[in-house]
Structure 1
């Protein structure tokens, strides 16, 4: 089969189409696939089931068959969650296909992994990335970190930042007390850091709503709930599970402050989703989050960026200082107009894929 020049096969984990199980990576994959189609690209979307990045035999066979059925020299954009754990499948394919790997997060960067598992995933990912025609990441910080960690040529790594949809301004609740965190409840996202901070300021009026999947690290969730039961803050925290569509919009609309206490990120899409609604952000100052939060046109920061051990002080300041809240809210609303949409993301990715299409064919 010979496809037009502006053609790409995308290989994504099957769960990207499940809007009831949202994640930043899934949203990104869905949006760029649709965006490339809107730009006139012929997008052949291949979805593979399995527990990636460590799939069973059936999932491995499905991926192998999908890649084997593609013609020499065709462009394939593969989500790193699928590609980076199976070099024995992807590296041979990269000898005849133009493979572009989309890395949302280094596999070994996930928290809670045993050392042996982390080292194995790191080795596998390095082998895959070194075989790829190009690598796409979601921030300039991630590009530099990936190049350094895996000793990769920087000119093969391309930063294509996520976009954000325009949204109405959030009305909030009382202007101060409603805190919102949108993130899967896993150790990397730092819910434990946030709860530790909040239990030290239980004398103040606040309520935290945690939106996000609870099934990725159930033992971690159980520990958080057990810890809350021993504190006076138990009635002030709600773990509501994943939300999407109108339900998620209502959670954002009611928020006075958005909080992301992550230990590690590669972009932080939920930050721009909050800023698109004019909601100030409190985030840990890790990795690219300061750049994602950004600045308003006058240079002011639309939120608070603190080390993980600074969350309690920042939260107390937010809840007790009306002038601070007004300054941050004004900066967040000004920052709102500076955010890029998904069209810019799709255009940037199309540029990368065009370069790959025009590059020398694989050596075979």
Structure 2
């Protein structure tokens, strides 16, 4: 039997607590459980705008792999290395894993977005296969970069089984948001919605990396101006155990993303039986089409406020929607299923 072996090329620190890195970790773990040999290849920091020294280091590490090796390159790096990908595609079976198109990240200057569109388009045209995390992302990637549908495969993330949330048990309704503090996550939209509900009893906990100093400073200034600073707490990134505790003591999950390639935090909230309110485009709409969730359009703070007011004001409504979320969670895909689908894609690409 031919050995099932794959190299997994990852930029930055694989242990970072973000959805993209969580996906990578879970797929690697799942492939190993299926008796695949997985070799990790660290590509360095600074993506998607790496300095030349990092780009050269990344190409050198990939170029040292044995000819014919199947290599999964995380999209954060793949889309930033078009020239290297073109050269490496002559000796390696390259598979791009695209969580969401780099050029759609919020907060980019126009010239940065245009450059990422150019480089990602060029890189993805050279790889043997592109794996994405949702049907909506497959459509978006195909349209943005001119890729035929038969070159794209979909492997949705899994969702771990979780204990049902018990709620805050206090006089204030505890809201929870989980996502890096960056413009794409729409915290400014959420704060605008919450500013219209100062008369209701609520508190908001935000868990996620504070990796964009300018975004963090703008949000903190907005909180001071609105008078909400004492009702909203930023926790930064938390280890899995403390994050699970945040879900378990929350009453409502809300995230006002402008765009998501899938939206793993929404699925995790459903798995905890939390009422979910969210936005983020077609991939999130699909995740939140299940009972127990309310979808609003991105940047629609008025509709977001209406949905929040409905749940904050009524404990019985929160219980009803939470019960529906808990039931819907049983239909969410699991990580072992995701790993099996990913493995099938790799077999096809070999």
TM-score (norm 1): 0.92
Q: Does 1:328 align with 2:321?
A: yes
The aligned residue for residue 91 of structure 2 is: 96
The aligned residue for residue 275 of structure 1 is: 270
Q: CA deviation at 1:326?
A: 2.4
Q: Does 1:131 align with 2:126?
A: yes
User: How far apart are the structure 1 equivalents of 2:239 and 2:156?
Assistant: 21
Q: CA deviation at 1:14?
A: 3.2
Match of 2:342 among 325, 346, 349: 349
| 1:95 partner SS | coil
The aligned residue for residue 303 of structure 1 is: 293
C-alpha RMSD of matched pairs (Å): 1.5
The aligned residue for residue 184 of structure 2 is: 188
Q: What is the CA deviation profile of residues 217-270 of structure 1, one whole-angstrom value per residue up to 9, with x for unaligned ones?
A: 111111111111122322110011111222111111111100110000110000
Misfit runs of 4+, over 6 Å:
none
User: How far apart are the structure 1 equivalents of 2:142 and 2:220?
Assistant: 39
The aligned residue for residue 361 of structure 1 is: none
TM-score (norm 2): 0.96
The aligned residue for residue 231 of structure 2 is: 236
| 2:125 partner SS | helix
**Contact 1:180–1:259 (CA under 8 A) maintained in structure 2:** yes
Q: How many matched pairs?
A: 346
Unaligned runs of 5+ in 1: 296-300, 358-364
| 1:9 partner SS | strand
Q: Does 1:203 align with 2:196?
A: no
| 2:226 partner SS | coil
User: How far apart are the structure 2 equivalents of 1:258 and 1:9?
Assistant: 36
The aligned residue for residue 14 of structure 1 is: 12
The aligned residue for residue 222 of structure 1 is: 217
Match of 2:305 among 292, 301, 312: 312
**Contact 1:50–1:56 (CA under 8 A) maintained in structure 2:** no
